[in-house]
Structure 1
Amino acid sequence: MAMTATVTFRTTPELKSRMDFLAKETHRPTSFYYNLLLEDYLEDLEDIYLSEKILEDIKSGKEKPIPAEEVFAKAGL
């Protein structure tokens, strides 16, 4: 059996109702769809929000940008 963890979060009654309806109509647990959403969109959210954080750090001087030429050179391109 795969390892699992329990997560609790708040959402709107409308979203919960929609998820419950989908689960009922398709005979799947709501956890199936919550996990599917996380698998499909978590990487995108990480890219967006972590990139914004790095940009803020660069603007505030906490982090220095790396020139593209240096990145390409280190990658052997």
Structure 2
Amino acid sequence: MLTLRLPTEIEERLEALAKATGRTKGDYVREAILEHLEDLEDRYLAETSLEQLHRGELTLHHLDDVERELGLTG
């Protein structure tokens, strides 16, 4: 369970959208959080990978090289 306080303007916009569509405010809040959460997770993964690359913990490989090593080139 999560409780949060929204600024009045956002609360009013959310209420109007819910009334206009017949959905609940909770539906929209869940949808917004899930969409943004995926973006945040992707960003965290990208930043972590970049840090590992800079520390020499990851190596990049060109697609052409990988395809050639796997025998996938024509």
TM-score normalised by structure 2 residue count? 0.56
Gaps of 5+ in 2: none
| Partner residue, 2:53 | 58
Query: Between Structure 1 and Structure 2, how many residues are aligned?
Result: 69
Separation in structure 2 between the aligned mates of residue 32 and residue 57 of structure 1, nearest angstrom: 37
With normalisation by structure 1, the TM-score equals: 0.54
Change over 3 Å in CA distance of 1:13–1:56 after alignment to 2: farther
C-alpha offsets along residues 10-49 of structure 1, whole Å, 9 cap, x if unaligned?
Answer: 5443223211221122221111112222444433332223
Q: Show the counterpart of 1:67.
A: 61
Identity of aligned residues (%): 35
Q: Which runs of 5+ in 1 are unaligned?
A: 1-5
Give the alignment's Cα RMSD to 1 decimal: 3.0
